[in-house]
Structure 1
Amino acid sequence: MADCGALFSRLARRQVIGAGAAALALPRTVLAQGEGIGHVQALRGQAFALTGQARRALEAQAPLYLGDVVVTGQASRLQIRLGRRTRLALGANARLRIDRFVIADDSGEYELQAGPLLLEHDENGPTVPAAVRSPYGLIAVRGTRFFAGPSNDVFGVFVASGRVSVQAAGRSVLLDEGDGTNIARPGAPPTPPAPWGERRIRAALASVL
């Protein structure tokens, strides 16, 4: 399983493009709605952000705000930086809402409404708690690099490093490095943890990078 995680990590670095079910306990200062939390690092294709009723087109270095719903177009790829240690990559036809964010430790809550996501935290420093909700279930994260989104005609979650808990349909599975799980449809439970093959890992990365 470690080999799969190493492959995932190497490919992610090589392919970088250019310059409530369960509440997450967020310590200290939480940013207010509409405050700046990050920016666009790279964009291929089209993307925009919704803040309330306002829609704005995104481009490299464009600011992002708490409460934004970030949307990508067809065949698009978007990379964003939040805070000091958090990076998110979105693939085509993705839709992600930034629900909460804590300045002190980069912890956050996100809603993945559609499409594929790669979430990474810088390796240096303490672990970073985060939670990602989707129509398929809840993903609880601590200081990790993982993929979530369409894969092999199901919703897949794969952990390249760290540990992730996936909760859906009253069942919870714990994924360690190299593990993945499948959720066939909204309302279905996650499958038991199992390693992903190299081809599937490559396809997951290609969908976001």
Structure 2
Amino acid sequence: MHEHEHAGPNISKKLHVHRFFVFILFVLLSASHSYAQDMIGVVSALSGNASIIRNSEEISAESGTPIFQDDVINSADNSRVQILLKDQTAINLGANASLTIDAFVYSDEAENVAVKVSKGAFKFISGKVATKNPEKVTVETPVATIGVRGTEFVGVINPQDSRIALLDGKIEVANDLGAQLVEVPGFGVSIDTAGVISPPVKFSQSELESLLNTVAIDKDEK
């Protein structure tokens, strides 16, 4: 049994609670703040410390802190943070990770989700935009761009050896040197210092557990 199969029910239950919380928060903010229409997400879970760079200013992140386009979310040592966007896209960051919300459009007229993970461990669970328009969702990293196909995946970005493992759905990992399609949960790729993307290989149970543990907010998410 793959790690994602073991963790699936707990993750789904956890995200259901978080998504309900976000819905209530959006309703409350829309009644009291004119900027709520521009709010695209929220800090839905936090363990330790994290900060947000917004308009060149740094603010401390807390559970419930609103997220806006162009925000840069940075996690501290021994910390984890989860961002939940309006379309129910969920992104977990491990310690010393950095996430930028480059674009978020979720309306009847247009849809687009583009985020960038500059460093560190992360987990991505796609939301409603990917369900309807998967080609409109991308996760960029310094070593490759990940195309989302209704997806859940986990990865770590670092200068020595970056790894990305599929948990559900499909992903395409691409850069100027080539592209690899990963279609089997439990398989993934690595990207070496030269930028070469490996063919998909099966990750061991211990490898998957190690990656998931780096982004788990609590035991229910492992």
Question: In the alignment, is the contact (CA less than 8 A) between 1:12 and 1:205 conserved in 2?
Answer: no
Q: Verify: 1:183 aligned to 2:191, yes or no.
A: yes
How far apart, in 1, do the equivalents of 2:164 and 2:142 lie?
13
Aligned length: 191
Letter of the aligned partner of 2:44 in structure 1?
A: Q
Aligned sequence identity (%): 24
Aligned residues of 2:165 and 2:189 also touching (Cα < 8 A): yes
Which structure has more helix as a fraction of its residues? Answer: 2
Aligned to 1:86: 89
Return closer, same or farther for 1:97/1:150 CA change in 2, 3 Å cut-off.
Answer: closer
1:44 touches 1:78 (CA, 8 Å); kept in 2? yes
SS at match of 2:70: coil
Which of the two has higher C-alpha Rg?
2
Partners of 1:62 and 1:133 lie apart in 2 by 24
* Structure 2 residue runs without a partner (length 5+): 19-36, 217-222
Q: Which moved more, 1:121-130 or 1:91-100?
A: 121-130
Alpha-carbon distance in structure 2 between the residues aligned to 1:114 and 1:15: 25
Runs of 4+, deviation exceeding 3 Å: 2-5, 7-16, 122-129
Q: 1:184 Cα deviation (Å)?
A: 1.7
Structure 2 residue aligned with 1:25: none
Q: Find the counterpart in structure 1 of residue 101 from structure 2.
A: 98
Unaligned stretches of 5+ in structure 1? 20-33
Deviations 1:166-193 (A, max 9, x none): 11342100001322000122x4211001
Alignment of 1:109 with 2:114, yes or no, is yes
- Structure 1 residue 4: deviation in Å? 5.1
- Larger fraction in strand: 1
User: Per the alignment, in what secondary structure is the counterpart of residue 206 of structure 2?
Assistant: helix
SS of equivalent residue, structure 1 residue 160: strand
Larger relative contact order (C-alpha < 8 A, sep ≥ 6)?
1
Pairwise CA distance, 1:143 = 1.3
The letter of the residue matching 1:182 is: S
- Relative to the length of structure 2, the TM-score reads 0.76
Q: Which amino acid aligns with 1:192?
A: P
The CA deviation at 1:121 is 2.6
1:42 and 2:41 equivalent?
A: no
2:204 maps to 1:205: no
Contact 1:66 1:99 in 2 (8 A): yes
Alpha carbon RMSD of aligned pairs, Å? 2.7
